[in-house]
Structure 1
Amino acid sequence: MCFTIDEINNSTELLPGISLGYEMYNTCGSITKSVKAALALSNGNKAVSASSKDPCTKPAQVQAIIGETSSSPSLVIATVIGPFHIPQISPFATCACLSDKSKYPSFLRTIPSDYYQSRALAQLVKHFGWTWVGAIRSNNDYGNDGMNTFTKTAQQLGICVEYSLTFFRTDPPSKIQMIINLLKDSTSKVIVAFVSHMDMELLTRELSFQNMTGYQWVGSESWMVDSKTAEVDKHHILDGAIGLSIPKAHVRGMKEFILDIKPIHYSSNDIFTEFWETLFSCTFKESNSSAVNLKQCTGHEDLTGVKHGFTDMSLMPIFNNVYKGVYAVAHALHEILHCNDTCIYNVHLDPFRVLQHIRKINLITKEGHEVYFNEDGDPPAKYEIINWQPTENGVVDFVTVGLYDASLPADKQLSLQNKTLIWTQNSTQIPVSICSDKCSPGTCKVLQKRKPVCCYDCIRCAEGEISNTTDSVTCVQCPPEFWSNDRRDECVKKEAEFLSYEEMMGALLTAASLCGTCMTAIVAFIFFTYRKTPIVRANNSELSFLLLFSLTLCFLCSLTFMGRPSEWSCMLRHTAFGITFVLCMSCVLGKTVVVLMAFRTSLPGSNVMKWFGPTQQRLSVLIFTLIQVVICVLWLMTSPPFPFKNLKVVKDRIILECALGSAVGFWAVLGYIGFLSLFCFVLAFLTRKLPDNFNEAKFITFSMLIFCAVWLTFIPAYVSSPGKFSVAVEIFAILASSYGLLICIFFPKCYIILLKPEKNTKNNVIGKVAPMST
């Protein structure tokens, strides 16, 4: 501040003819001394120094306060001077709470708010994939407020804080030891330290004493470029630390000013005297020091060769912040006093007016640094990313490896340069700090009970669900026609399932159908060959041949149920089945009625047979069949069967089947067949004991019994069978009932025709009852 005021007072362009004065206080970081200094500055009425010249004779009128360098004292000062609207510009107080203009209306600063630093630290942690971190903070406004913002931002970014410990440099050793014990028991390997440089120095000394290596430190700007903290790190526990710092700056002439400082020029100020005696281990004659065996200070010692934090300019960024703050005040006064070549001296200087002008300042210093304040009194937030890299001689080098600019879009705020980063224990591999391993694709995260969200178990996705990203929160249901693969990381198209000819079950059913067709053809051939024999003639050969024809159609219609369903095959299979079976049942019913009528005709005085001759038989078969044809036509016209992809019966496959369309139509077709078969069974049962050598009613009764049993068991089996098995059950029912009719009705006749020809005579067939001839 002395350097900047001298520079301004010696300038002919800024405040010409006006000399700025100053008064300096050292609060030693004490809240009490900060209050005392603030009150003294607000009520001061004594002479003040004006650069290195003679003291002013005017009463002090404080236009602005530069300071404090810590957040807690700054809060107190801002509270005290706030009602007086005296501008306060801090170069190093970063607590975000000071941005609240309703509480601290006159506070401004030339260092960014910790709101941005905390968010930058959270983004830095997220960038390196650390989701499980520990946190240590100073127990003051700087640490508590900064860590609070970091924790909130970290939570939004999916970062979990395992612990958050607080301490202050005046805490007893037991408190520090407790923190170290907690660090040893923790599982996180990354520690975010939002700590002031003085607190960090104390903590580092204790950690180094206990050789607490192996932790990756992430630091705030307060200690990241603090050379004193690096000096006390004897075991290099902080090597590889990464964090933020104020951007490097250069103020021309500042180093030369400090190296050329002579305490004798400031003999009235004890600060310089004590500093000089400590730096060179000497004493002044006028000093009250009681030290012995110390050489005498001359005041002309050379600072150039001294290796000390004061001379290596490591605090230049803070110097630059002070430099910008003083220039902001000077430019505000320059505007208020309407200075050009000269200034108007009779303008009344009101602190509130000065504050208003400082808020509107927007200037570029001669070093090229922009100075302005936003509505919260804060400058633009820019940070350098610093990495602690040890050198060969054991000294830590603070290497700039990136930048953070809060004014850029969110995805471009953090940028790392193409430089090699050094991590803890001099490693070049990024440390890993997670609570749980990443969940691979095909699994999803399930939180562990009473644990943070970063601690989870990886559960395999259920069938039909996938996750194709790492650390997926949920599994996604596959679309209806897709299913999850074995790894559960991809949806694959479901396999279409239908009863085909190529598979074993389809081949067996096809063989059974063709075999039945061939057997029917053989029987027809036998009957045709022996059509003039009594047994063929006695059993109504015309209906027999029609029945054999209908059985052939029944066997063949089962083939329509196999293969990929199409619109035509769906309509054909059910209608062909319904019509052929009704034709079959009509023939059987006609044969049963013929037997019954033949018995009635044999009775004395009976003339019933004339009402059921060949014409009536053909007509009855035609009418019964036409009824089913009408039912099928109505079914096809209203709501016909159609191909349908069934996605519900089997989860991992698509069942290609024929939907019924109209359920009424289907059950009407099936019901009509059932009605005819039941009616035929009743008639055959009533005629089974009629006195005749070859009563065909017995075989019809047995065949109808098989037919009804098959179709009664078909219904529950059909309903309960999944997928293609339901089609197989339907085909089996068709084949079983067809085989039953073929075997029960025609095999006994073939047996007599082929193996017992002696029974195939008219006398043997007629017996007591003369059968009807055709």
Structure 2
Amino acid sequence: MARLYVTLLTFWPLLYIGVQSQSKSKDTCIYQGDEDTYSFYEGGDVVLGGIFPLHSSTIPLVSTFMTKPKLIKYKFFTPRALRWMQTMIFAVREINQRQDLLPNVSLGYHIRDSGDDIPVSVKRSLLLVNGQPEKGSGQSCEDIQKQPSPVIVGEASSGVSMAVLRTLGSFKIPLVSYFASCSCLSNKKDFPAFMRTMPSDLFQIKALVKLVHYFQWTWVGVIGVDTDYARFAIQLFLKESERFNICPAYVHLYPVALTQDAVEELVNILKSSSATVIINFSVDSYLHGVLKECRRQNVTHLQWIASEAWATSKVLWDDFGDLLKGTLGFAIRRADIPHLGNYLRRVSVSVVQTSNFLSEFWEETFHCRLNGSVTPHVHGEEAQNWPPCNGSESLDDVYTLYSDVSQLRVSYNVYKAVYLIAHALHDMSKCEPGKGPFQNGTCGSLYPVLSWQLLYYMKRTHFTTLGDEVRFDDNGDPIASYDLMNWQRGSDGSLQLVRVGFYDASLEDNKDLVINEPVIMWHRREKAPESLCSQSCLPGSRKARKKGKPVCCFDCIPCAEGEISNQTGVILMAPQLMVF
């Protein structure tokens, strides 16, 4: 009689079942569920996992629990995220060609789509760390189609990263994020296996508050999409703002699934407030509905301040450039990655047909159908009218965010994340037996790599890449620096992201923010707009707080007899004896 039991390739009893016969010495594996073929994979001595939000905004499906659930559909495909995926592959292949870094160890990759969705991301993270046996039965459990990954490069969203960490973190499987910035992730008690090449929001908030203070905006609107990222960021912003007497005119979180009632409520708040400067903590995909409603209600006067999550995103410009012209925001530092642009454009019809991800991108870009395409399912029914691809399509003939390497910021973070892991593995490989950091002087294992040992080395790794020194603090966070970007309209109407300053957390407190104000182009004015609850009081008058209102809201009343005010903005001077 055969005995049924769960085989733990890594530790999770979810992906396949091993059946062991009393007459056989080897296990046989049966893959459970549908085989998920949507991935990039290449084997190696060490296979790095990767998870990226190639799709976002799931389309709700009603399940009756009487039939097999249908495949998840999404509203948005993100060429930018495809570039992040390809950057990871590029970095792995570049390292494999080097003789000075991991010369005797080959790296592979296993990359999947998170869908920017927690259940999907957790499921696919499990696929990464468990590996994947061959589909069907009768295969030995040692015959693995895709090797398990001891580390994952991901995720972009802070909330999704938290969910993955709570699943995998207890097993010390490292997650290296390239875009998750929530300060909550610096908590090593809750997230001991988390590192990132993205600065913590703690520093972005300090930069934003100093920016607001620099332009003397004391009355600002603060909004954000209802996620962990925005909630923690807004909480930090309100706390830091108190130091500079900056008041929130309103604070509003809008839902991820934005209904018409919710967006109308938000825009009514924006329209009724006297604040002309608005700070928005969101990602670009959640802004379409808000900006569309702003235009419908003619709310076009606002000066937008972007959080780093959308400070350099070009996808909003074509539809909402008139609303967003003059936007300011801090962006993570950019870099030029040699040869990446050529690598990204080295894609043809024959290449894209080997990958579902690339096929979907090709069809989205050229609005044509490939042989065997499932475009109606992926792109919608309108794709049925697309003509067949003729094979002459070329990325050199079109503009797409995928091949745009002019603003490599998140891509650079992905690149650094891969190099962080490679340098940690390199340090492990140089360990001398008896002098290692583990019990009895033992070295870390490379065949196979143990995640907890790799994490130990990653936390102590620092290196230089593309001229930048990369090091991490005790929380696994990099030293923060940002570029201040201004959204300007080019002569051809395109978006020009112009660097107008920077913030460097490593500099002294009064020198960390530098702004080149004459270069800034504002939304509707030649100079910086005002955003005040009350105008400054003129000499001869003083401020009088309005009962029940923030400190930024006041009346100006004449100085009483025996008092004097010879400057603007005075709150109160004690009565003084005037001597004549």
TM-score bracket, shorter-length normalisation: 0.7 to 0.9
Letter in 2 for 1:369: D
Find the counterpart in structure 2 of residue 706 from structure 1.
Answer: none
For the residue of structure 1 that corresponds to 2:323, the secondary structure is coil
Letter in 2 for 1:216: Q
Letter in 1 for 2:452: F
What do residues 691-731 of structure 1 show as CA deviations (whole Å, max 9, x unaligned)?
Answer: xxxxxxxxxxxxxxxxxxxxxxxxxxxxxxxxxxxxxxxxx
Q: In the alignment, which of 310, 322, 325 is matched to residue 414 of structure 2? A: 322
Within 5 Å, which residues of 2 pair with 1:626-645?
none
What do residues 655-689 of structure 1 show as CA deviations (whole Å, max 9, x unaligned)?
Answer: xxxxxxxxxxxxxxxxxxxxxxxxxxxxxxxxxxx
Find the counterpart in structure 1 of residue 553 from structure 2.
Answer: 455
For the residue of structure 2 that corresponds to 1:429, the secondary structure is coil
Find the counterpart in structure 1 of residue 59 from structure 2.
Answer: none
CA contact (8 A) 1:201 1:228 kept: no
Shift of 1:420: 2.7
Q: Does 2:496 align with 1:397? A: yes
CA contact (8 A) 1:137 1:143 kept: yes
Find the counterpart in structure 2 of residue 304 from structure 1.
Answer: 396
For the residue of structure 1 that corresponds to 2:477, the secondary structure is coil
Find the counterpart in structure 2 of residue 12 from structure 1.
Answer: 99
Task: Name the TM-score, length of structure 1 as normaliser.
Answer: 0.58
Letter in 2 for 1:447: R
- The separation in 1 between residues aligned to 2:349 and 2:191, in whole angstroms, is 37
CA contact (8 A) 1:223 1:229 kept: no
Letter in 2 for 1:432: E
Within 5 Å, which residues of 2 pair with 1:238-637?
238-262=324-348, 264-265=350-351, 267-289=353-375, 291-297=383-389, 301-313=393-405, 316-338=408-430, 349-365=449-465, 367-417=466-516, 419-425=518-524, 427-478=525-576, 483-484=577-578, 494-495=579-580
- The separation in 2 between residues aligned to 1:207 and 1:314, in whole angstroms, is 30
**Unpaired segments of 5 or more residues in structure 1?**
48-55, 485-493, 496-774
- The separation in 1 between residues aligned to 2:573 and 2:444, in whole angstroms, is 75
Find the counterpart in structure 2 of residue 699 from structure 1.
Answer: none
- The separation in 2 between residues aligned to 1:348 and 1:28, in whole angstroms, is 30
Shift of 1:418: 5.4
- The separation in 1 between residues aligned to 2:313 and 2:296, in whole angstroms, is 19
Shift of 1:422: 1.6
- The separation in 2 between residues aligned to 1:169 and 1:237, in whole angstroms, is 21
- Structure-2 change in CA distance of 1:231 and 1:170 (3 Å): same
Letter in 2 for 1:428: E
Letter in 2 for 1:26: D
- Structure-2 change in CA distance of 1:242 and 1:37 (3 Å): same
% same residue: 35
**Structure (1/2) with the larger strand percentage:** 2
Shift of 1:471: 2.1
- The more displaced of 299-308 and 72-81 is 299-308
- The separation in 1 between residues aligned to 2:156 and 2:349, in whole angstroms, is 23
CA contact (8 A) 1:200 1:223 kept: no
For the residue of structure 2 that corresponds to 1:402, the secondary structure is strand
Letter in 2 for 1:322: V
Letter in 2 for 1:205: K
CA contact (8 A) 2:166 2:191 kept: yes
For the residue of structure 1 that corresponds to 2:400, the secondary structure is coil
Q: Does 2:156 align with 1:64? A: no
Find the counterpart in structure 2 of residue 143 from structure 1.
Answer: 230
Letter in 2 for 1:241: T
For the residue of structure 2 that corresponds to 1:97, the secondary structure is helix
- The separation in 2 between residues aligned to 1:453 and 1:200, in whole angstroms, is 31
Letter in 2 for 1:229: L
CA contact (8 A) 2:334 2:412 kept: no
For the residue of structure 1 that corresponds to 2:113, the secondary structure is coil
Shift of 1:202: 2.9
Find the counterpart in structure 1 of residue 120 from structure 2.
Answer: 33
For the residue of structure 1 that corresponds to 2:499, the secondary structure is strand
For the residue of structure 2 that corresponds to 1:237, the secondary structure is helix
CA contact (8 A) 1:31 1:76 kept: yes
- Structure-2 change in CA distance of 1:22 and 1:298 (3 Å): farther
- The separation in 1 between residues aligned to 2:517 and 2:276, in whole angstroms, is 25
What do residues 363-389 of structure 1 show as CA deviations (whole Å, max 9, x unaligned)?
Answer: 111x11222111111111111111112
- The separation in 2 between residues aligned to 1:178 and 1:166, in whole angstroms, is 11
Letter in 2 for 1:203: V
- The separation in 2 between residues aligned to 1:288 and 1:392, in whole angstroms, is 40
- Structure-2 change in CA distance of 1:473 and 1:270 (3 Å): same
- Structure-2 change in CA distance of 1:416 and 1:314 (3 Å): same
Find the counterpart in structure 2 of residue 515 from structure 1.
Answer: none
- The separation in 2 between residues aligned to 1:469 and 1:7, in whole angstroms, is 62
CA contact (8 A) 2:263 2:289 kept: no
**Unpaired segments of 5 or more residues in structure 2?**
1-87, 135-142, 377-382, 433-442
Task: Name the TM-score, length of structure 2 as normaliser.
Answer: 0.76
Within 5 Å, which residues of 2 pair with 1:165-184?
165-184=252-271
Shift of 1:395: 2.3
- The separation in 1 between residues aligned to 2:89 and 2:458, in whole angstroms, is 20
- Structure-2 change in CA distance of 1:25 and 1:348 (3 Å): closer
Shift of 1:456: 0.9
**Structure (1/2) with the larger helix percentage:** 1
Shift of 1:284: 2.1
> Per chain length, whose mean CA-contact separation is higher, i.e. which structure has more relative contact order (CA < 8 Å, sep 6+)?
2
| Structure of higher CA gyration radius | 1
- The separation in 1 between residues aligned to 2:522 and 2:543, in whole angstroms, is 30
